[in-house]
Amino acid sequence: MSKHFQRFLILSVISLCIFSSTAFAEKPVQIALFNPIQLFSEDESIKGVRLNLIYGKNAALTGIDFGFVNHLTAPSLGIQYSFLANISDSDFTGYQHGFISITKGSLFGLQSGAYNYSKNATGIQWGFINVANRMEGVQFGFINYTVSMKGLQIGFANVIRQGGVLPVLPIINFSF
């Protein structure tokens, strides 16, 4: 056996060991009836797909979240689609859709549903009621509320507490 082939073989085996342990450490699928009755504990992060039949809770998600109530506690990236509620205790990047979508940290992306809340939002909130402490982008809904904004609100009642054309305007309000 040549020295180059031996080195290649040794390097291949080492690489396989390293990458396979990483692959086994990731949780690609989570199924939850309700927390704590779920495949993996709420402390685990999921990279793949979560199916929450009633209520599922995990640390972070990179992937797709589908269910009745979806709850994440760490920064996440992906799509959350729920029949009732999406709750992110931290930052969320991607798309949240549900009757209620709440991001307690920063949202970068799109929220849609009857009630949308984000502490800080960059992107679009589209729903019946949209609320953000700081909004950069567009709020489109029946009632839009933000403390400060760089962007546009379109709806029946539009409230920008600091810096809007007026604090409250029907149809359109904006601040740039």
pLDDT of residue 46: 97
* Strands 27-34 and 37-38, bridge-based pairing: antiparallel
pLDDT of residue 6: 55
Long-range contacts (CB closer than 8 Å, 24 or more residues apart) made by 138-144: 141/116, 144/173
pLDDT of residue 13: 46
The token pair that represents 153 in the structure block? 């609100």
pLDDT tens track for 129-156: 999 999 999 999 999 999 999 999 999 9
User: CA-CA-CA-CA torsion for 137, 133, 88, 94, nearest 10 degrees?
Assistant: 10
* pLDDT interval class at 163 (50, 70, 90): confident
pLDDT tens track for 81-130: 999 999 999 999 999 999 999 999 999 999 999 999 999 999 999 999 99
Residue 73 per-residue DSSP state: -
Give dist(CA 145, CA 139) in Å, integer.
8
pLDDT of residue 7: 56
Give dist(CA 58, CA 45) in Å, integer.
6
Q: Which residues pair with 53 in a beta bridge?
A: none
The token pair that represents 45 in the structure block? 């992060």
User: CA-CA-CA-CA torsion for 139, 136, 158, 170, nearest 10 degrees?
Assistant: -80
pLDDT of residue 22: 45
pLDDT tens track for 14-72: 544 444 444 456 899 999 999 999 999 999 999 999 999 999 999 999 999 999 999 99
The token pair that represents 33 in the structure block? 């009836």
Q: How far is CA 176 from CA 111, 118, 158, 171, in A?
A: 21, 19, 15, 17
Instruction: Decide: helix, strand or coil at residue 60.
Output: coil
pTM: 0.84
pLDDT of residue 142: 98
pLDDT of residue 15: 46
